[in-house]
Chain A
């Protein structure tokens, strides 16, 4: 059996185990999914502006415990900014973000660090410490936040590396890793402290098909095996739809559609269709806003 076939089989297995879809989609003006204790992250009335432009204008969404939730949308819609707001790297201009019922306060460093110990984040770049080996990178959060005996620490690190298939790469330096391997090491580091939630920032960008298949399978497997909650920010429709239990589509500063992957696949709204079917033109125009071509060509300008 080929490697990709193997991953497809594993993927099919994990997809069968995934939690049930939450509800049918509500398009255009979605109401947030009601959560209560079932909701790990609750966002209400989120407003965030940058340079006078509203990146988010009244975003409301819930991230359910134990589920893989995807935030999708075209580039530049603020998906990574949303992760930064959830993790308290940026303060919102208005609205609230709660993690497990506790407000995320970007300016209360002690409370924020307590919350962050319960979160792991996979950066797009991996963000590995370049002067430490793979082993030491994964051991880093364990050493920083605990006083484990060396033998126990070693076992824990090797188990985390085993989970991402890189136990054999423990002595390599980050510069010796491929992009996909670096992301898997970063994933092992993100789960080192057994967090409640892992946030993935564009995990599939720039990956070859094999690495992408590995990451797709890993995200789902880790979520189910470790009883995690996963938040995947991505614009890779096919890969994300394979593993997500619930998808929020974001554009123009708002959630414009949400639902299970199957529900969004059936959705007929032009915006959803353009994004999910990767059409070059539609509600999101191919051309960036500009004056008429004739007017631009036959007038003098700086450029």
Chain B
């Protein structure tokens, strides 16, 4: 009796470790099945469409509003120091270093990640994955690997779209509404945003988020209890764990990239 809570804690810990082990085994199997993606590029293109192209609208609209808010808030702060000409720099640096990769990853986890988990979970529940196995077709190579690479490749492209539209949103508010000089807006941005330091690091962040978000989504779908409740839990876990992983990893990556 005395050790019951301890035993429960131990069981929960073992459960987490077991799931982590299964998740890593799945990732390894996906990576070993990468050749399938090269041999059948059509599978990858279909997933780039599903995960990437179908997310463009939500990414663009979100990017536009985030950029507009940045323009407003940035102008408010910079005006105190008489540096409103630096608004372009502030908006662009914030987007390519932080907000672009992070908000895109959160949105992809919510839109495409949950869809991936539900799709794979339902394929499991309706025995479609078992059916492929019985046709001597490996579902990890045929179904999961193209989705994984689709997610990994789509993420930096979507983040780039998010940042570009966000800059336009900042420009619209800063220059169009608040009267910041357009030449100063663009020239500050062009001179001060560093390709390697800002843009490449942002792309690296996006790639890492792409791996993590897609991996979590695929694992949750593949590992779910094959019932309607199980699929529902898997999609919820994908969004929650995906968002937490992105935010946690963002801090670690930022510390590694930009910390002294």
Task: Give chain B residues whose Cβ lies under 8 Å from the Cβ of A120.
Answer: 134
Whole-angstrom CA separation of A121 from B136 in the bound complex? 11
Q: Is there an interface contact between B136 and A116, defined as CB atoms closer than 8 Å?
A: yes
B105-129: contact bitstring with A at CB < 8 Å (1 yes, 0 no)? 0000000000000000000001110
Q: Is there an interface contact between B130 and A123, defined as CB atoms closer than 8 Å?
A: yes
Q: Is there an interface contact between A140 and B130, defined as CB atoms closer than 8 Å?
A: no
Q: Is there an interface contact between A141 and B135, defined as CB atoms closer than 8 Å?
A: yes
Q: Is there an interface contact between B133 and A127, defined as CB atoms closer than 8 Å?
A: no
Whole-angstrom CA separation of A141 from B134 in the bound complex? 10
Q: Is there an interface contact between A119 and B137, defined as CB atoms closer than 8 Å?
A: no
Q: A125-B126, A127-B126, A130-B126 are in contact. Are A144 and B131 (CB under 8 A)?
A: no
Contact partner, A117, options B128, B136, B142, Cβ 8 Å: B136
A89 at the interface (CB under 8 A from B): yes
B133-148: contact bitstring with A at CB < 8 Å (1 yes, 0 no)? 1111110001000000
* CB-based nearest A residue for B126: A125
Contact partner, B133, options A89, A130, A189, Cβ 8 Å: A89
Whole-angstrom CA separation of A124 from B125 in the bound complex? 12
Whole-angstrom CA separation of A32 from B135 in the bound complex? 29
Task: Give chain A residues whose Cβ lies under 8 Å from the Cβ of B131.
Answer: 121, 123, 127-129, 186
Nearest-CB distance from B43 to chain A (Å)? Answer: 12
Tally of contact residues, A, Cβ under 8 A:
24
Q: Is there an interface contact between B128 and A129, defined as CB atoms closer than 8 Å?
A: yes
* CB-based nearest A residue for B127: A127
Whole-angstrom CA separation of A130 from B123 in the bound complex? 9
Task: Give chain B residues whose Cβ lies under 8 Å from the Cβ of A130.
Answer: 126, 128
Contact partner, B135, options A124, A125, A140, Cβ 8 Å: A140
Task: Give chain A residues whose Cβ lies under 8 Å from the Cβ of B133.
Answer: 89, 116
* CB-based nearest A residue for B119: A131
Q: Is there an interface contact between B127 and A125, defined as CB atoms closer than 8 Å?
A: yes
* Most A-side CB within 10 Å, residue of B131, B133, B137, B142: B131
Contact partner, B134, options A109, A116, A124, A129, Cβ 8 Å: A116
Q: Is there an interface contact between A141 and B126, defined as CB atoms closer than 8 Å?
A: no
Whole-angstrom CA separation of A123 from B142 in the bound complex? 20
Task: Give chain B residues whose Cβ lies under 8 Å from the Cβ of A129.
Answer: 128, 131
A87 at the interface (CB under 8 A from B): yes
Q: A127-B126, A130-B126 are in contact. Are A144 and B134 (CB under 8 A)?
A: no
Whole-angstrom CA separation of A38 from B71 in the bound complex? 80
* CB-based nearest B residue for A192: B135
Q: Is there an interface contact between B127 and A144, defined as CB atoms closer than 8 Å?
A: no
* Most A-side CB within 10 Å, residue of B127, B136, B138: B136
Nearest-CB distance from B29 to chain A (Å)? Answer: 10
Task: Give chain A residues whose Cβ lies under 8 Å from the Cβ of B135.
Answer: 116, 140-141, 144, 189, 193
Nearest-CB distance from B126 to chain A (Å)? Answer: 6
Nearest-CB distance from B15 to chain A (Å)? Answer: 16
Nearest-CB distance from B229 to chain A (Å)? Answer: 18
Whole-angstrom CA separation of A125 from B134 in the bound complex? 14
Q: Is there an interface contact between A145 and B128, defined as CB atoms closer than 8 Å?
A: no
Nearest-CB distance from A216 to chain B (Å)? Answer: 22
- Give residues in A with beta carbon < 8 Å to B: 87, 89, 109, 113-114, 116-117, 119-121, 123-125, 127-130, 140-141, 144-145, 186, 189, 193
- Give residues in B with beta carbon < 8 Å to A: 126-128, 130-131, 133-138, 142
Instruction: Name 20 extra pairs, CB < 8 A, besides A120-B134, A128-B131.
Output: A89-B130, A116-B136, A119-B134, A121-B131, A121-B134, A123-B130, A123-B131, A124-B127, A125-B126, A125-B127, A127-B126, A127-B130, A127-B131, A130-B128, A140-B137, A141-B135, A141-B137, A144-B137, A144-B142, A186-B131
7 closest cross-chain pairs (CB), A and B: A127-B131, A127-B127, A113-B136, A116-B136, A121-B134, A141-B135, A123-B127
23 CB < 8 A contacts A-B: A87-B134, A89-B130, A89-B134, A113-B138, A116-B133, A116-B134, A117-B136, A120-B134, A121-B134, A123-B130, A123-B131, A124-B127, A125-B126, A125-B127, A127-B127, A127-B130, A128-B128, A130-B128, A141-B135, A141-B137, A144-B137, A144-B142, A193-B135
